[in-house]
Chains A and B, each alone.
Chain A
Amino acid sequence: MNLEQLKQLKAKAQQQVALREGNKKYRVVVSMGTSGIAAGARDVMKTMLDEIEKRGLDDVEVRVTGEHGLESIEPVMTVEEASGEKTTYAQLDAEKAKQIVTEHLQKGKKVDKLAVGKQKKTE
């Protein structure tokens, strides 16, 4: 760790703030409990943020949550559409996270092979 790396933090955080405004089409929730973190959830999160920023996707909101009780398939994230439809992706890594950004969040195509469980609707 050095101070130079930390200085870039400010600029990066600033760019994130810039993407915060505007209407959100997708809400991404990454599980960031102890087991998620141990399984690599932070790297997944970092990749998501980098890719979203690189592509300027200001219609995506990224949040975190605690444990899901899904320890065995961490890292886990859920993509929620404005319609309430939810897709859960599991056993993620940076590469898969990137794929979810380019396919699901950018093109609107679900990445079926990474999704787990059945589609759920809220309400």
Chain B
Amino acid sequence: MLEELSLHILDIAMNSLAAGANRVAIAVVESQRHDFLILRVRDNGRGMDAGTLDRVLSRGITTKKSRRKNIGLGLALLRQSSEMCAGHFHMKSAPGQGTSVTASLRLSHVDRPPLGDLPATLLTLCAANPEVDIRLNYRTDTGRFDFSSQELTPKGKTNT
């Protein structure tokens, strides 16, 4: 089980990278006022057709040797979490059009997993895939934070 939502984000983003994406945009919207938490991971990878989309969402796929089984498992777990927490899970994809995964959860739900260490998820993705633009848009009722790994330049080198 993945105990933090930020681990789910990492899991989904790894799928994006496996799909050859060079841009992965992560959005997290946390609203106390409206009592919801929305996670979205959108990529420009190769996408998938309707049949594959159905398959990755069904639970308990164990076609060993195929990497796809694990992709299906991770998504099924997130869908379960989101539906358990009075939210919705939605996935959109088409060949050549990338993939977008959206999960919402009720913020105050007792079973809602913590968001966890989101910076660690981002750093893992950035460090391991320097050529991919990893973006984060994080919004709350009172503020926002935007990040893009392609904005970083090697000029910070002087302090090492």
Contacts and interface: CB of A to CB of B under 8 A. Distances in A.
Contacts of B128: 30, 32, 45, 62-64
B51 interface: no
Q: Chain B's interface: helix, strand, loop or mixed, by majority?
A: helix
User: What class of interface size applies to chain A in its complex with B?
Assistant: 35 or more
A15 B71 CA distance: 31
Interface string B114-129: 0111111111101111
A58 interface: yes
Contacts of A113: none
Interface stretch (B41-49, B89-97, B148-156): B148-156
B127 A15 contact: no
Interface in B98-118: 115-118
Given A5-B119, A8-B119, A13-B123, A38 B154 contact: no
Contact of B123 (A9, A18, A21, A56): A9
Interface of B: 1-2, 7, 10-11, 14, 18, 30, 65, 67, 70-71, 73-74, 115-124, 126-130, 136, 138, 140, 143-145, 147, 149, 152-154, 156-157, 159-160
Interface of A: 1, 3, 5-10, 12-21, 30, 32-35, 37-38, 42-43, 45-46, 49, 56, 58, 62-64, 66-67, 69
